[in-house]
């Protein structure tokens, strides 16, 4: 028999695993070299995301065509992601403009992003920026700066 | 026979495990309740650190008596630490004043903090703030904001 669990024992996102720590940077090639040296890892490939409008990207409720460059470092217990915004309206550019290079978000793998969006909104954590890439998955940034002091990303469907 | 490893394959700190993600906050009781609800965990106890001068604390090369309150959330793969500065000169207060509530640092367990300090300085990552608590261990914050976009903490001797 499974003991009865109070609601407060369930994580809102269904997980307590931080799958990514993401840092917004001005020059991803420079930052990728610095992270590679720091962690003793090869300099990773840099990807450019699809045009935002091709992946139904929205930012603050409006369609956004913003793109970014990404690079990933697989650490022992999580992944560090570097993000260089390439212009256009996005949470990437917003955070870089407001605070300079810094941690942009921590990420969690979820199921049922739409359900999580409703639960987070009820907890005072509104959606800020999202997109869905049909071949890969859906990413959503939630603005928990007032409650948790950071942005939270949910990832659904990414391998 | 161990294959020869190029220096670039060694992490500078000897580890690629992020043992803590720390968030600087204005009101730790409020934030601890918000994090507890978010992660479905009990509200943890809040600790107040020793007076800085009792633990040989320095900040930007000067002795500092600053203290803070701390609370910890054990997640699946890392720990989230909340830090509320209690006044005095410290990196905790500096980051809170400059950027508001946000991620203060990511932390790594190390051996030989003094050796790591020399290696980091040579890599352009200077010491910012540190202290040693005889009963527990040594904490050191390094300013990697120019190179990695964040502060790095080393912890030595903490259980």
pLDDT band with cut points at 50, 70 and 90 for residue B134:
confident
Over residues B126-130, the mean pLDDT reads 98
Q: Which residue has the tokens 């001005």?
A: A26
Give the side-chain half-sphere CA count within 13 A for B123.
26
pTM above 0.90, yes or no: yes
Chain B CB contacts of A101 below 8 Å: 145, 149-150
pLDDT band with cut points at 50, 70 and 90 for residue B136:
confident
Q: What is the ipTM of this complex?
A: 0.93
Chain B CB contacts of A18 below 8 Å: 21, 75, 77-78
Considering only the beta carbons, identify the residue of B8, B16, B38 that sits closest to A148: B38
B112-151 b/e (C-beta count within 10 Å ≥ 16 → b): ebeebbeebeebebebbbbbebeeeebbbbbbbbebbbbb
**What pLDDT does residue A34 have?**
97
Contact A12 B149 (CB under 8 A): no
Min distance A52 CA to chain B CA atoms (Å) = 25
Chain B CB contacts of A8 below 8 Å: 36-37, 40
Q: Is the pLDDT of residue A1 over 70?
A: no
Tokens of A94: 């917003």
Min distance A14 CA to chain B CA atoms (Å) = 8
Is-contact A44 A28, C-beta < 8 A?
no
Over residues A13-40, the mean pLDDT reads 98
Query: What mean pLDDT, rounded, does chain A reach?
Result: 93
């Amino acid at each position: 028999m499974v003991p009865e669990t109070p609601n407060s024992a369930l994580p809102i996102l269904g997980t307590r695993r931080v799958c990514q720590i993401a840092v917004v940077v001005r020059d991803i090639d420079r930052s990728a070299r610095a992270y590679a040296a720091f962690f003793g890892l090869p300099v990773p490939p840099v990807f450019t995301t699809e045009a935002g409008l091709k992946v139904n990207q929205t930012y603050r409720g409006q369609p956004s065509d913003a793109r970014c460059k990404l690079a990933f470092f697989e650490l022992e217990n999580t992944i560090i992601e570097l993000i260089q915004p390439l212009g256009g309206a996005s949470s990437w550019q917003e955070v870089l403009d407001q605070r300079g290079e810094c941690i942009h978000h921590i990420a969690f793998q979820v199921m049922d992003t739409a359900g999580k969006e409703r639960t987070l909104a009820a907890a005072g954590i509104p959606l800020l920026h999202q997109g869905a890439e049909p071949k890969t998955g859906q990413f959503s940034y939630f603005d928990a700066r007032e409650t948790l002091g950071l942005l939270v990303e949910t990832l659904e469907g990414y391998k």
